[in-house]
């Protein structure tokens, strides 16, 4: 599933491809997309210049001339592919955007779960989510105050976008390992010192995410990328203990039973 680093990388690629260009055609090629992006909306976007591309949490916002916004959420398996108009379309193409000078942007999604919506100028309501983790808004005091209201375990809490924006399952497990915090630790029991370590760990794993280095490669060894995610049964790279998997809130958490403490 694309998480904050993957979505930021996707947004940067989209920005480089289309910023300043004029949309000549916008098509929804799958019934699920046609529900979110009806013909009236598609036609309304045509002829408009793409002013800029931004990211908020895991959402990409394509700002158009006049104030309209295309909201894009990849969900589970969405991504961008870039070709030229007239070339063979990529597999699993769900939404197609073409510019007046021949750039074709395809939203590809094997599971067809992605969502693209057009909001008229002034109509987009930003989602109620927490601070961006790589900004100064993600403070230790604010993080600790938010955690103090959480009675459940820390790992599912990190996945709540109202706590901190854009952190998903992979990077939550990685951050907890970096901070030496067990995923079942009560969120409201963390000391200021541990909250500080965890805040810093969240930033570290997001800043050093291997997105660009491994983008588009089919020969990636997961063990080469992750410290703990998906490595249950293997030795911890820090202490050598056998890593374990813990089901939590319908997701899998990966951790070291020796060096991650409750």
Please state, in angstroms and rounded to a whole number, the distance separating the CA atoms of residues 10 and 16. Answer: 10
Q: Clarify whether 2 is annotated catalytic.
A: yes
CA distances from 3 to 108, 204, 214 (A): 16, 15, 14
Among this protein's residues, is 162 annotated catalytic?
no
Helix, strand, or coil (residue 76): coil
Tell me whether residue 3 is one of the annotated catalytic residues. yes
Which residues touch 171 (CB under 8 Å, ≥6 apart)? 3, 4, 5, 202, 205, 206, 209
Give CA–CA dist 44/247, Å, rounded: 45
Q: Which of 58, 155, 199, 227 does the annotation list as catalytic?
A: 58
Give CA–CA dist 168/138, Å, rounded: 16
Give yes or no: 234 in active site: no
Q: In what order do the strands lie in the sheet with 115-119?
A: 50-56, 59-64, 69-73, 115-119
DSSP assignment of 175-232, as one string?
HHHHHTB-TTSBGGG--HHHHHHHHHHHHHHHHT--HHHHTT-S---HHHH-SSTT-T
Active-site amino acid positions: 2-3, 58, 251
């Amino acid at each position: 599933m694309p998480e904050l680093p993957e979505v930021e990388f996707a947004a940067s690629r989209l920005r480089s491809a289309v910023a300043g260009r004029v949309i000549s055609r916008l098509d929804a090629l799958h019934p699920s997309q046609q529900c979110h992006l009806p013909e009236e909306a598609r036609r309304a976007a045509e002829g408009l210049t793409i002013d800029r591309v931004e990211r908020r949490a895991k959402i990409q916002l394509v700002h158009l001339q006049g104030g309209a916004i295309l909201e894009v959420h990849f969900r589970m398996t969405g991504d961008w592919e870039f070709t030229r108009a007239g070339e063979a379309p990529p597999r699993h193409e769900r939404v197609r955007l073409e510019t007046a000078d021949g750039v074709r942007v395809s939203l590809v999604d094997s599971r067809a779960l992605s969502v693209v919506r057009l909001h008229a100028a002034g109509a987009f309501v930003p989602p109620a989510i927490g601070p961006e983790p790589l900004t100064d808004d993600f403070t230790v005091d604010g993080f600790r105050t938010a955690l103090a209201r959480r009675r459940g375990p820390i790992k599912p809490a990190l996945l709540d976008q109202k706590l901190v924006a854009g952190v998903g399952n992979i990077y939550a497990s990685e951050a907890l390992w970096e901070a030496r915090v067990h995923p079942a630790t009560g969120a409201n029991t963390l000391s200021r010192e541990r909250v500080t370590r965890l805040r810093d760990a969240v930033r570290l794993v997001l800043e050093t995410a291997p997105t660009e280095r491994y983008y588009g490669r089919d020969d990636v060894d997961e063990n080469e990328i992750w410290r703990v995610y998906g490595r249950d049964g293997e030795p911890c790279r820090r202490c050598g203990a056998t890593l374990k998997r813990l089901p939590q809130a319908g997701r899998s958490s990966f951790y070291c039973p020796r060096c991650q403490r409750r």
